[in-house]
Amino acid sequence: MFDKKCYLVFFLAAGLMSGCGNNSAPLDAETRSRIDSIANAHVALAQKKYDSLCIVAQTTVLPGLVDSLKKERLREIQEQLKTIPK
């Protein structure tokens, strides 16, 4: 049983590695155009996804961060006001 698995793994690995040869033939214009179209479509989808994530972050995370910064700054101002001689 173990020998069969070893042979199977060996032949699968050999088959996969044989498909990884260097194909030095240049791509034709139609293939390049298709690749560019697919890549552009993926970029457009990613852009929409990340734009929506940024909008969500602006409406949920950003107000909390601004409030936190305001509180910290007010605390610093209060500390500085304590050091002013009267």
Q: Is residue 68 in some structural domain?
A: yes
Q: Would residue 17 count as lying in a domain? A: no
pLDDT at site 3 = 73
User: In the predicted model, is pLDDT for residue 19 greater than 80?
Assistant: no
Q: Are 64 and 71 in contact (CB under 8 A)?
A: no
> In whole angstroms, what is the distance from residue 11 CA to residue 8 CA?
5
Q: Note whether residue 10 is domain-resident.
A: no
Structural domain contains residue 47: yes
- What digits encode the pLDDT tens for the residues 21-71? 666 788 899 999 999 999 999 999 999 999 999 999 999 999 999 999 999
Q: Does any domain span residue 15?
A: no
Q: Is 41 a member of any domain?
A: yes
The count of structural domains within the chain is 1
Q: Which domain holds residue 76?
A: 29-86
85 in a structural domain: yes
